[in-house]
Amino acid sequence: MKNDNEVTADLIERFQNSKEFTQELVTEYENLRRAVVQLRVEKRQLEQELCGTEVGSLKVRIKQLEFDLAAQHDKNQEMAANYAIADRERREFEERYLDVENQNSDLVNLFIAAQQLHSTIDYAEVITILKDVVINMVGSEDFAIYMRDTRDDRARLIAHHGIEHRCMDSIASGDIRSTQTLSTGKMWVAKLAPGQREHLNGQPIACIPLVADGVVFGVITIYSILTQKDGFKPLDYELFELLSNQAATALMGARLNALHKEQEDDLDNFVTMLGALPKPAPLDDPRISSLEDLILW
């Protein structure tokens, strides 16, 4: 067991150690405080430096960028407006181009129809071409072509397509439209409802007069249009006008040509017949002295 002196010495030593430790802690604390103060000073200095240089320039840069952005935005708006104008012009141009192409196509239709109608003077061929034009260009497969017969002034059927079931030698008595067109020379076209292709009662939907030199000598009567066709379009009216005149003159020309050929053939036959007759007797022949001699000769 320790005596009192030894215990006292031990305590004193412990106190001494505690004192040293406490002093060390105080010293360390002082050092740390100094470091904190130093850092605060440095921080303040850095902040001042930044305010003076970097942040300032960055703020200026940001303002510049904002200005540029606004300018760019204005430019974008201007470009968008220009683009809208250009786009509208492009669409207008496209529409115009389509219009021109369609007009061109229509003109080709008309040109080919007229050119083909006048490409021959053969009557049968003109009829075939006329039918082709009505089928392929007008778009009808039910129609009849009547021509006035000069002998009795009645309109007779000269060609038809797809109407065998109601085909008649001349215009049906109930067909007022065709009769009217033939007498007045005025074209008549029915106003068809959307999707309508023909009249339910079998009446015509269009009557086109065949007029040459101011004289109406026939009529094209259309009874229906093709399934895919939605009514008559402006081109159809132009084709009707063209047919009214060009088909009429082509038909008339071919008819006259046929008539001319017939007359030519008749004349040839007559000349041949004349050639076959015996030659007239030479009246100054000394062998013929009486009527009997002449007959015998």
Partner 1 sequence: MTTNILLVDDTRTVLMFEKMMLRGTGFNIDMAMSGLQALEKIDKCKPDLILLDIMMPEMNGVEFCRRLRSSERFADIPVIIVTTKGDANMRDLAFQAGCNDFMTKPVQKTELLAKISNYIS
Q: What are phi and psi of 168, to 5 degrees?
A: -130, 160
Per CB under 8 A, 145 contacts partner 1: no
> Can you tell me which of 79, 215, 226, 271 binds partner 1, judged by CB under 8 A?
226
Nearest to partner 1 of 3, 227 (CB atom): 227
Of the candidate spans 11-19, 22-30, 113-121, 288-296, the one that interacts with partner 1 by CB under 8 A turns out to be 113-121
Of the candidate spans 7-15, 27-35, 61-69, 102-110, the one that interacts with partner 1 by CB under 8 A turns out to be 102-110
Which parts of 228-257 interact with partner 1 (CB under 8 A)? 228-229, 235
Nearest to partner 1 of 128, 180 (CB atom): 128
Per CB under 8 A, 124 contacts partner 1: no
> Can you tell me which of 105, 183, 184, 269 binds partner 1, judged by CB under 8 A?
105
User: What is the C-alpha to C-alpha distance for residues 116 and 137, in angstroms, rounded to an integer?
Assistant: 12
Per CB under 8 A, 196 contacts partner 1: no
Query: Beta 215-224 vs 206-212: how paired, if at all?
Result: antiparallel
Which parts of 8-47 interact with partner 1 (CB under 8 A)? none
Helical axes 234-242 vs 54-117, angle rounded to 10°: 30
Cβ atoms of 147 and 251 within 8 Å: the answer is yes
Which residues sit at the interface with partner 1, rule CB under 8 A?
98, 101-102, 104-105, 108-109, 111-113, 115-116, 129, 132-133, 135-139, 141, 226-229, 235
